[in-house]
Amino acid sequence: MTDKNDLADRVVLITGASRGIGYFSAIEAAKRGAHVIAIARTVGGLEDLDDEIQAAGGSATLVPLDLLDGDAIDRMGGAIFERWGKLDGLMANAGMLGSISPISHLAPKEVDKVFKLNVTANFRLIRSLEPLLKQSDAGRVLFVSSSSAYSCKPYWGLYAASKAALNAMAKSYAGENANTKLNINVINPGPTRTQMRAKAVPGEDPETIPHPREVAPKFIDLISPDYTENGQYIDLKNDGKTSPL
C-alpha cells in the first residue's frame, strides 16, 4: 500500500486496463484515492481488476470498450460528463505492436489497424475528453509511447511509425495547452514484463526486466496534480530522464 493520497476525489481514466502496465497503474491510482474509469476489451481482466481495487479499499467503473470504435469513445465522453462533470487524468496506455516484419511485407489492413489504435484512437480520446479535462483544476494526460519512435530499428517500422506519430501529436497538443491548466506528457516505460514485450522479444528471460507493478507508481506520479511539467518525454529506460518532446 502507498501512503500517498494525492489523487483523492479525482477521476482518472486508464485505457488498456485489463492487464500489464494499465492494470497495475489502475490499482496504484485507486490506492492513491482516485476513482478509476478502467477501459479495456477484456471483461474478465476488468473484473479481476475491480476485485483487486475493491480489496485495496478503492473504487472503479469498468467500461468494456473497443477503442477502434470512435463513436463509442464519443459516447463515453458524454457519459462521464453526465456522471462526474469532469475528468482529472487520462492515461492513454492501450497499444498494439503489430508484426515485426519488413515494411514491404506488411498487410495494409494490419497497418491501418495499428495506426487506428496507436494514433487515431488517442486522437478520438482527446476530442471526446478534452472538455472534461479542462473542467479539472489540474487536468493531466499521459500517453504511453516507446523508444522505437526514435530508434526505428529494421523490421520495427510499423510500430515505430505509429509511436512517432503519437509523439508528434502529443507534442503539438502540449503546445496548444501551454497556457492552460491541462498538461500533456509522454512516457517510455522501457523493457517491462508484459505480453507485448514477450511477443516482441520472445527469447528474453522475463525475470530480468521489471514487472508492471514496479513501474506503475512512476506512471501515476505523472497524472498527479503535483506533477506540473508539460510537453515532456519521460524515459524510464534511461532512469526516468526527462526531455522536451
pLDDT digit string, tens, across residues 43-63: 999 999 999 999 999 999 999
Q: Give the distance between the most distant pair of CA atoms in the chain.
A: 51
Q: Are 49 and 38 in contact (CB under 8 A)?
A: yes
- At 205 the pLDDT is 85
Q: Are 148 and 156 in contact (CB under 8 A)?
A: yes
The identity of residue 146, as a single letter, is: S
- At 3 the pLDDT is 65
Q: Are 146 and 194 in contact (CB under 8 A)?
A: no
Measured CA to CA, the distance from residue 91 to residue 160 in angstroms comes to: 20
Q: What global pTM score does this model have?
A: 0.96
> Which residues, given as ranges, of the chain have pLDDT below 50?
1
Q: How far from the centroid of its chain's Cα atoms is residue 50's Cα?
A: 18
Give me the residue spans of the domains in the chain.
11-244
Residue with cell 526516468: 240
Which residues are catalytic, by number?
Answer: 159
CATH class of 11-244: alpha beta
